Amino acid sequence: MTEYVGSTSARPDLDWSQLKETILMLNLAVAQIDQSLNEGDASVSTLSSSFTALATNLSDIKSSVEHLHADDHQNDKMRTIIEGSAETGLDKVHTAIVAFQFYDKLTQRLDHVSQSLSDLSALIANPSALYSPTEWQKLQTSIRSKYTMEEERKMFDNVISGMPIEQALDIFRSEKQANQEDEDDIELF
């Protein structure tokens, strides 16, 4: 059975260690990220199924309009109104899907951060790994391998090479913005 020892910073003893405190804080960050991801996933799942149903309904409306009798002037006006409304609705659904893709990327990144913090915590908690450059290199390689975008890998490389975080983030943002200008379509992943 694992014994859980909480923070002793309020009452330090001879066994107090900044490493133990760091591990506790890392575990707290992991727990907060994981909980946020779980709460967000539930609401996005509901929204996603709602938008899928809405898109289906709008497509049904649009195809039903084609079956209206063309010989009635009132039907022509109604057809124009319905087609316009359905088209506007489909455009809004498209915009929502793009926003969901952003959220999906966000949750993937936060999940990677959570996993990386857990791995870092485990490394720090293990005295034989803590002082092993090989173990730190394995951790860095593992973290880098989780990045899916080239801009993220470059940011990782820049930070690991000692570049200040703000400078690495500025480069990341400018490269990401340049790539987004080339992408207008919905990306499925």
165 — pLDDT class (breaks 50, 70, 90) = confident
Residue 39 is predicted with a pLDDT of: 72
102 pLDDT higher than 70:
yes
Residue 186 is predicted with a pLDDT of: 47
pLDDT > 70: what percent of the chain?
84
Residue 8 is predicted with a pLDDT of: 63
How many Å apart are CA 187 and CA 189, to the nearest integer? Answer: 6
For the chain, the straight-line distance linking the first and the last C-alpha, in angstroms and rounded, comes to 41
* Structure tokens that stand for 88 in this block: 């506007």
10 — pLDDT class (breaks 50, 70, 90) = low
Instruction: Report which of residues 70 and 177 the model is more confident about.
Output: 177
Write down the H helix ranges in the chain. Answer: 18-65, 73-125, 127-130, 133-145, 150-160, 165-181
Residue listed under structure tokens 């293990």: 126
pLDDT tens digits along 72-82? 677 777 777 78
How many Å apart are CA 7 and CA 176, to the nearest integer? Answer: 40
